[in-house]
C-alpha cells in the first residue's frame, strides 16, 4: 500500500497533515452519527412524556424542561465534537463521560418525575446499548458500576414511588409505547452494530487482500510478471531440498535473450520492455504448471524443471527456443528477430544452489560461444 507521504509532489509534512485531517473528519462523522441517534432517542422520550402530560400523569411544564435538558446535553456533546475537543483524548468518543452525563440526566429526572420512572428506566437501556458500540470491557464495567451506585441511590434512598403508569387508557397506551419503542430502539442499535461489524469485516477483508497483493508484488518482477530473483532463488533452494528428499532429478536452465542490448539500442527501451514481457508470457504459456520461471537479472531468466532429467530438459528447452524464434517479432518493429540461448544443468548429490547455477552459467556461456540461438547442457 502506498503511503500518503510517498506521493510525488506532496511534501511529507503536508501529506501527514492531510492524513491526520482525514482521520479526524472520519471520526467526527462517526461521532455525529452517534449523537444524532441519541438526540432522536431523546425526542422520542419527549413525545412519550407529552402523552403522559395529556393523560394527567405529569404536568405539561415538565416536558419542555426535560427536552431542554436533553438538548443541552446532546448539543454540548456535538459542539465539543465538532470543535475537535474529543480528538485530544485517546478515547475520542469519551465513552465514560458521555455515559455519566446522560445517566445523570435520566436518573435525575427519575427523582423529579417518579410517576413516569418506567420511561426513564427504559432510557438507561438505550444509553448503555449505545455505549456498548464503542466501550472497551474496562469502560463497560466502570459504567455498569456507576449505574449500580446511581440506581441504589434511586431505589434505596428515596421514598418516592417509581411508577409504571397504567391507570387510564391513555396512560396504558403511553406505557405500551414506552416498552415497544424502547425495544425497537434497542433492535435498531443492534442493527447499527451489525452494520458496523460488517463494515469492519469488509475493511479487514480488503486489508487482507491488499496484504496478499503486497506479498505477491514482493515476489514478482514488476516488468515481466515473472518471479523476481529473490523469489526464484528461494524456490531453487526449496526444489533442491525436495529433489534430495524424493531422490528425483531436478534440472534448471539459465536463459538469455540473444543480443538484447542491440534491441534496446536499435529500437528503444520501451520496445525492449515489450519484448521482455512478450518473451515471459510465451514461456509461461509453454511450461508445465509445476515448473518455476523467474527473472534472474536483466535479460536473463531462470527456469526450474522439477522431476526432469537432463535429456528431457534439453528437449523442453529446444522446443521453447523454436517457439520464441518463430514468433512474429516484426509486430514490434520491422525486421526485428528475437532468439534465446540457454544453459542447462541437472543437480547432483550434495549440490547447492550456487554450484548448480555455476554449471548452468558455464553451459550458457558455451551456448553463446557456439553462435547463440541454441541450447547446451552440462
Active site residue 274: no
Q: Say yes or no to pLDDT of 49 above 60.
A: yes
Residues 134-141 have a mean pLDDT of: 87
Q: Which of 171, 239, 299, 314 is catalytic?
A: 299
- pLDDT tens for each residue of 84-131: 888 888 888 888 998 899 999 999 998 899 999 889 888 888 888 888
Query: pLDDT tier at 277 (50, 70, 90 boundaries)?
Result: very high
Using a pLDDT cut of 70, give the percent of the chain over it.
94
4 backbone dihedrals φ, ψ, rounded to 5°: -60, -35
**126 vs 74: CA distance, rounded Å:** 14
DSSP lists the bridge partners of residue 343 as 254, 376
Distance CA 377, CA 317 (A): 10
CB atoms within 10 A of CB 237: 11
Residue 2 has pLDDT above 50, yes or no: no
What is each CA distance from 10 to 13, 17, 23, in whole angstroms? 8, 11, 18
What CATH superfamily is the domain 229-377?
A: Reverse transcriptase/Diguanylate cyclase domain (3.30.70.270)
What residues does CATH 3.30.70.270 cover in the chain? Answer: 229-377
Cell readout for 175 is 406505557
CA max distance for the chain: 109
DSSP state of 309: -
| Distances, alpha carbon 40 to alpha carbons 16, 191, 217, in Å | 36, 16, 49
Of 47, 93, 49, 101, give the one whose Cα is nearest residue 74.
101
20-26 contact pairs (CB < 8 A, 24+): 24/84, 24/87
Report which DSSP code applies to 166: -
List Cβ neighbours of 135 (8 Å cut-off, separation of 6 or more): 95, 99, 143
Which cell goes with 322? 523454436
Distance CA 213, CA 165 (A): 62
pLDDT 10s digits, 187-221: 888 887 777 778 777 887 877 777 777 666 678 88
Stretch 264-283: mean pLDDT: 92
Whole-number average pLDDT of the chain: 87
- Once rounded to an integer, what is the mean pLDDT over residues 69-76? 90
Amino acid at each position: 500500500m502506498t503511503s500518503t507521504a510517498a506521493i510525488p509532489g506532496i511534501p511529507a509534512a503536508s501529506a501527514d497533515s492531510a492524513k491526520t485531517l482525514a482521520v479526524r473528519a472520519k471520526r467526527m462523522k462517526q461521532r455525529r452519527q452517534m449523537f444524532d441517534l441519541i438526540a432522536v432517542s431523546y425526542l422520542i422520550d419527549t413525545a412519550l412524556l407529552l402523552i403522559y402530560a395529556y393523560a394527567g400523569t405529569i404536568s405539561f411544564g415538565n416536558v419542555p424542561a426535560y427536552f431542554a435538558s436533553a438538548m443541552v446535553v446532546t448539543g454540548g456533546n456535538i459542539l465539543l465534537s465538532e470543535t475537535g475537543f474529543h480528538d485530544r483524548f485517546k478515547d475520542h468518543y469519551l465513552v465514560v463521560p458521555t455515559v455519566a452525563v446522560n445517566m445523570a440526566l435520566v436518573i435525575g429526572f427519575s427523582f423529579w418525575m417518579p410517576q413516569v420512572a418506567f420511561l426513564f428506566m427504559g432510557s438507561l437501556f438505550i444509553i448503555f446499548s449505545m455505549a456498548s458500540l464503542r466501550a472497551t470491557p474496562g469502560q463497560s464495567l466502570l459504567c455498569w458500576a456507576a449505574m449500580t451506585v446511581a440506581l441504589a441511590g434511586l431505589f434505596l434512598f428515596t421514598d418516592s414511588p417509581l411508577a409504571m403508569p397504567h391507570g387510564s387508557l391513555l396512560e396504558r397506551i403511553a406505557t405500551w409505547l414506552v416498552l415497544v419503542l424502547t425495544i425497537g430502539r434497542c433492535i435498531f442499535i443492534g442493527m447499527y452494530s451489525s452494520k458496523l461489524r460488517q463494515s469492519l469485516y469488509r475493511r479487514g477483508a480488503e486489508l487482507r487482500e491488499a496484504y496478499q497483493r503486497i506479498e505477491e508484488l514482493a515476489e514478482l518482477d514488476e516488468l515481466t510478471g515473472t518471479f523476481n530473483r529473490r523469489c526464484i532463488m528461494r524456490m531453487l533452494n526449496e526444489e533442491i531440498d525436495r529433489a534430495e528428499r524424493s531422490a528425483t532429478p531436478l534440472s534448471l536452465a539459465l536463459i538469455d535473450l540473444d543480443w538484447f542490448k542491440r534491441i534496446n539500442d536499435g529500437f528503444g527501451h520501451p520496445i525492449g520492455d515489450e519484448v521482455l514481457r512478450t518473451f515471459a508470457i510465451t514461456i509461461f504459456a509453454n511450461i508445465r504448471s509445476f515448473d518455476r520461471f523467474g527473472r534472474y537479472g536483466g535479460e536473463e531468466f531462470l527456469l526450474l524443471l522439477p522431476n526432469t532429467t537432463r535429456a528431457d530438459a534439453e528437449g523442453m528447452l529446444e522446443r521453447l527456443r523454436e517457439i520464441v524464434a518463430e514468433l512474429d517479432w516484426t509486430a514490434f518493429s520491422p525486421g526485428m528477430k528475437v532468439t534465446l540461448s540457454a544453459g542447462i544443468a541437472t543437480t547432483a548429490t550434495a549440490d547447492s544452489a550456487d554450484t548448480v547455477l555455476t554449471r548452468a552459467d558455464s553451459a550458457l556461456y558455451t551456448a553463446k560461444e557456439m553462435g547463440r540461438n541454441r541450447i547446451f547442457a552440462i
